[in-house]
Amino acid sequence: MSFKYREDKFLNELDQYIQSTYSEHYSSDKLQTLDVIDACGDAKAFCRSNIIKYASRYDRKGSARQDLLKVLHYGILLMHFHTRDQANYAAADFAAQED
């Protein structure tokens, strides 16, 4: 399939970015900060807030591309927590979590 807007390339870049976050110092343990935030019941609000933060500072501070990658990453994390909290969580297919 040929993507008109190079979505496949951007998805690959996003995948590489997300993988890189797992090798950073703050995620070297099995328990991540987001796990603690989730245990407090604030994971969705945290993700939503970070989406707003990085979207609003886009192209104003630091790297605009990094801000976009962070928006997308937090969007995926928010999708995870949203889906998990839905009644049909058990029926959802989380192939990535099975690895």
pTM beyond 0.85: the answer is no
Residue 65 lies in a domain: yes
Residue 63 is part of which domain span? 30-90
Q: What does the alpha-carbon distance between residue 51 and residue 78 come to, in Å, rounded to a whole number?
A: 9
Q: Please write the tens of the pLDDT for every residue from 38-86.
A: 999 999 999 999 999 999 999 998 899 999 999 999 999 999 999 999 8
Within a domain: 71: yes
Structurally, the chain folds into a number of domains equal to 1
Instruction: Tell me, rounded to whole angstroms, the distance of Cα 7 from its chain centroid.
Output: 17
DSSP 39-92: HTT-HHHHHHHHHHHHHHTTTTSS-HHHHHHHHHHHHHHHHHHHHHHSTTGGGS
Is 15 domain-assigned?
Answer: no
Residue 5 domain-assigned?
Answer: no
Rounded CA separation 92/55 (Å): 28
82 domain residue, yes or no: yes
